[in-house]
């Protein structure tokens, strides 16, 4: 079972994440970040990655959404890393272009164990409900650093909602492909023998 749950409590947030990489349905049963647009994006990630996902966050939204979104990225990254275990038999790397109307997002990732995040694109400063557009970049950076992902993302477009949704869908699809078991892969997919 490639499934993990992690809880993190700080003075700013309490975050609980459960992810099942083999859930197969992409049906999030609980998404309660306190930020409606962010819940919508997490649902898109789960649906297109075919993951079963639960995210619950109690954060200091009276300040703004930054701590909640970033901390959800931290905890989701930790949970993904734990669910992968030794990474035996996985495809390891994948990429995806994902369009949404005028927006086009690209995601390339490697479950290398070497965290890196590269991002190209202009998301502006628009508020999408209680979600500030630049928080998308902060979320993916926190996730990559804590999951041990090499993650490159880019996006173009004019509508921040479309841009961010395309990013979450591209990431879900690429991560789903990378964590997929490949019967041709024997052991860990690395010339080093470990990831």
- CATH number for the domain harbouring residue 63: 3.30.230.40
Give the tens place of pLDDT for each residue, 2-45: 999 999 999 999 999 999 999 877 676 789 999 999 999 999 99
Query: What is the reported pLDDT for 120?
Result: 98
- Token duo for residue 68: 């909640």
The answer to whether 191 and 96 have CB atoms below 8 angstroms apart is no
In a domain, 30, yes or no: yes
DSSP 75-92: HHHHHHHHHHTT-TTB--
In a domain, 188, yes or no: no
Number of domains in the chain: 1
Give the tens place of pLDDT for each residue, 131-181: 999 999 999 999 999 999 999 999 999 999 999 999 999 999 999 999 999
- What is the domain range of residue 130? 3-179
Torsion over CA of 122, 127, 132 and 133, rounded to 10 degrees? -20
In a domain, 76, yes or no: yes
In a domain, 60, yes or no: yes
Q: What is the mean pLDDT of residues 95-106?
A: 98
Q: What is the pTM of this model?
A: 0.96
In a domain, 12, yes or no: yes
- Given a cut of 80, whether residue 78 has pLDDT beyond it is yes
Beta strands 116-120 and 103-110 are unpaired
Q: How far is CA 145 from CA 10, 29, 151, 175, in A?
A: 18, 26, 9, 15
The answer to whether 167 and 139 have CB atoms below 8 angstroms apart is no
Query: What is the reported pLDDT for 90?
Result: 96
Q: Would you call 157 exposed, middle or buried from its count of C-beta atoms within 10 A (0-12, 13-18, 19+)?
A: buried
């Amino acid at each position: 079972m490639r499934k993990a749950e992690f809880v993190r409590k700080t003075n700013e947030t309490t975050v609980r994440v459960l992810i099942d990489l083999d859930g197969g349905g992409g049906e999030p049963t609980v998404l309660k970040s306190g930020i409606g647009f962010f819940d919508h994006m997490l649902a898109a990630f789960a649906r297109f990655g075919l993951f079963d996902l639960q995210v619950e966050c109690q954060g200091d939204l009276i300040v703004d959404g930054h701590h909640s979104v970033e901390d959800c990225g931290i905890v989701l990254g930790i949970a993904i890393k734990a669910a992968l275990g030794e990474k035996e038999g996985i495809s390891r790397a994948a990429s995806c272009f994902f369009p949404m109307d005028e927006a086009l997002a690209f995601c390339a990732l490697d479950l290398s164990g070497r965290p890196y995040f590269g991002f190209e694109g202009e998301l502006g400063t628009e508020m999408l409900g209680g979600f500030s557009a630049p928080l998308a970049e902060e979320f993916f950076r926190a996730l990559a650093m804590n999951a041990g992902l090499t993650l490159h993302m880019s996006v173009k477009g004019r509508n921040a909602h479309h841009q961010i949704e395309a990013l979450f869908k591209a990431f879900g699809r690429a991560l789903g492909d990378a964590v997929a078991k490949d019967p041709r892969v024997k052991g860990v997919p690395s010339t080093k023998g470990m990831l």
